[in-house]
Chains A and B, each alone.
Chain A
Amino acid sequence: MKLLVATKRVVDFNVKVRVRADGSGVETANVKMSMNPFDEIAVEEAVRLKEKGIATEIVAVSCGPVGAQETLRTALALGADRAILVETSEDLQPLAVAKLLRAVVDREQPKMVILGKQAIDDDSNQTGQMLAALLDWPQATFASKVDIVGDSVTVKREIDGGLETIEMRLPAIVTTDLRLNEPRYATLPNIMKAKKKPLESLTPAALGVDVTPRLKTLKVVEPPKRKGGGRVADVKELVSKLRNEAKVLP
């Protein structure tokens, strides 16, 4: 069974981003970039499925500027067999990415596509669901456990009130949530081997996809600063302040 895993290169989760003073966006120049954490979980899940003998080939795909090659090399080092970069410097939004991924799915014919549930830069949480709709495939979002048996996949998903288990016929889309697995680290030997694994470069034009953005960003601003750092000496003072100053106690 072939698996396709989608990955995105994003600002590292530890970075405290700064908003540009001119309102044009967030400062990303010279900032540490990494694979989106949820996509690391997706790659790990694919690799585990291969180790279990369920997946026979893992293809990692990323859509974005040429720097995304780094993310794909990481995926290869973690265990993907091949990588595809759909290269463009256009501002890619989820609908466009879903269309590009659909074109890749048409080419590669995987039985399952695993994506991170959201990218931690735009926090949209749309791409996996959109891809499923474009393909007319079933979806299981926010997965915390994935079990493939024959032609079906059973997914335990995190929902607002707890957990839900759903069963889907393959081919299907799964998006990962935090507790699906704990990703491994790429070992140095595997990082070296990854340099020799195939990485193919395509363009949106070659895939016949129009990636023109539909949402126009008018401005990006910092949220209002929250005044913090207040201290109280003890529990008595805390309760007194909550009651009389903040007035939030029932």
Chain B
Amino acid sequence: MPVLVLAEHDHRSLKSSTLNALSAAQKLGGEVHVLVAGNDAGGAADAAAKVVGVAKVLLADAPQLAYPTAEAVAGVLLSLANSGSYTHFVAPATGFGKNVMPRVAAKLDVAQVSDVMAVESPDTFVRPIYAGNAFATVQATDAVKVLTIRTTAFDPAASGGATAPIERIDVAADDGVTKVVSQELTKTARPELGSARIIVSGGRGLGSGENFRMLEQLADKLNAAIGASRAAVDAGYVPNDYQVGQTGKIVAPDLYIAVGISGAIQHLAGMKDSKVIVAINKDPEAPIFQIADYGLVGDLFELIPALTAELG
């Protein structure tokens, strides 16, 4: 009962989310294959072939997959569903995976299990509901299972195994119905938010985008990623991809420093699995303090520079 994992990549290399998804896939008990759908994506395919536990890499390489649409990627997965005998289709529960996988499930007329946190058996999974305030154990009764994986719940699969074979597959022509016109990607040298070990996160209390520079200085000292609450993104202080929360990024770093963040249920949903939580807020009643390991009540405009200085 082979498992097909949809790789998330930038054509040259794999994104770390793929490694977490592969870890989850390996618990399903079948042979694990990886699909790399991209353009000039040999680098990503080579990287996938070296991950421990991967038996085969399928490479769908075509210009129309340079900026892949859900329709195009789902199309490749479905062509493999028809010819292969996959029992499971797996992708990371990132914006990419969430966009594609339900199309596959619906075409196969099967249910999808979103945001899997634990694999109890090839057909039984644990997933969060109600913003992670409850965990549901669900059993998928369809013969084929479609899963998206909560990346923070699985360690990344290791690389350095024997190189698996890479097989090129055909890609259907672009039907021209959807076109990716442009992308505006945030450029940063910081670690990726979804997999960073330390995150410094700012909320409404920061007051402006300018003030986020203070957090950047702190983040520099810690080699941290920068995150934000919904309020900070809505107010335009930072771009949308910084948002941590129920419907933004789910993170579980070793250290999460929440600055000027009140701690709404929806924000907690995105960061309460962090190993250590620090909260800095001038309101001692802020809900964030209830889940913080170390809470510091005070004016962030004094405390953050002081913290940065103290770190030497």
Contact = CB atoms under 8 A, between A and B. Distances in A.
Interface stretch (B32-40, B58-66, B287-295): B287-295
Contact of A166 (B134, B180, B277): B180
Contacts of B178: 138, 166-169
18 contacts: A14-B265, A19-B134, A95-B112, A98-B106, A120-B131, A129-B101, A133-B104, A138-B177, A141-B70, A141-B99, A161-B183, A169-B177, A221-B135, A228-B290, A246-B276, A248-B254, A248-B276, A250-B223
B129 A242 contact: no
Interface residues of B, number: 87
Interface of A: 11, 13-14, 16-17, 19, 26, 38, 93-95, 98, 117-118, 120-134, 138-139, 141-142, 144, 154, 158-169, 177-179, 213-223, 226-232, 234-236, 238-239, 241-242, 246, 248-250
Interface string B273-295: 00111100000000001111111
Query: In terms of DSSP, what is the predominant structure of the interface of chain A?
Result: mixed
B308 to A, nearest CB: 9
Given A164-B180, A214-B141, A230-B292, A130 B102 contact: yes
Interface stretch (B21-29, B200-208, B240-248): B240-248
Interface of B: 67, 69-71, 74, 94-96, 98-107, 109-115, 124, 128-142, 177-186, 194, 198, 222-223, 230, 233-234, 239-241, 246-247, 249, 254-255, 265-266, 272, 275-278, 289-297, 303, 306-307, 310-311
A26 B141 contact: no
Nearest to A226: B291
Contact of B295 (A93, A133, A142, A231): A231
Contacts of A13: 265-266
Contacts of B131: 120, 123
Nearest to B254: A248
A11 B106 contact: no
Contacts of A231: 289, 294-297
Contacts of A129: 70, 98-103, 106
Contacts of B294: 230-232, 238, 241-242, 246
A2 to B, nearest CB: 20
Contacts of B111: 93-95, 213-215
Nearest to B277: A228
Contacts of A158: 95, 240-241
A31 to B, nearest CB: 11
A21 to B, nearest CB: 12
Nearest to A166: B180
A129 to B, nearest CB: 4
A245 B284 CA distance: 23
B135 A223 contact: yes
B183 A164 contact: yes
Contacts of B100: 129
